[in-house]
Structure 1
């Protein structure tokens, strides 16, 4: 399993941004191996983090090559003041089971 953190400082969003963002979300969800997404905002609101989870590196690559994702990468400067990507392999995920999460609960599995 892999996670991708898309950290960014938002700029001004227009109708084109919202349409492309919705298309990218739909493309991610339609990609085999997509597990889910979470988003967070810094306390001061200046930075945001959208974290995607993927079953495999191949699934992540398939999404990365999607035409609408490539278009957004070409035009990011229109809507963002900057970004940073972190791709990580998830070794284990677990919790107490109090709420559902799209990653597996592997509490009893050894690393």
Structure 2
């Protein structure tokens, strides 16, 4: 499983941002390898972490090739006061199953 994190400090959003953001999110969710999204905030730092989980690298590459995604990447400085991308391969995950929406439910491994 792949985990793609977009960590950013929000700036000023406009109509172009909202249009592209919606199109990218819809496209990502329609990919066959899409698993789920999560969003975390760090209010003390003013940061947001939008996390997308995919079953495979091919789905991540397909999202990266999406024309609206490429368009948004070219304008990132318009909307954010800084950002970082972290793409990781998840090799294991475990817990006590009391938290909802475990992205590893179908990929469960034993620690």
Settle same-fold status: TM greater than 0.5.
yes
Where has structure 1 moved over 6 Å in runs of 4 or more? Answer: none
Moved more, 45-54 or 57-66: 45-54
* 8 Å contact from structure 2 (residues 37, 50) kept in 1: yes
Q: 1:47 maps to what in 2?
A: 47
Deviations, residues 52-83 of structure 1 (Å, cap 9, x unaligned): 10100111000111011101101111101111
Q: 2:103 maps to what in 1?
A: 103
TM-score by length of 1: 0.89
Moved more, 32-41 or 90-99: 90-99
Distance in 2, Cα, partners of 1:100 & 1:47: 23
Deviations, residues 16-43 of structure 1 (Å, cap 9, x unaligned): 2111111110010011101111011113
TM-score by length of 2: 0.89
- TM-superposed deviation, 1:100: 3.2
Q: 1:6 maps to what in 2?
A: 6
Q: 2:18 maps to what in 1?
A: 18
Q: 1:73 maps to what in 2?
A: 73
Unaligned residue ranges in structure 2 (runs of 5+): none
* 8 Å contact from structure 2 (residues 94, 110) kept in 1: no
Unaligned residue ranges in structure 1 (runs of 5+): none
SS for the counterpart of 2:74 is: helix
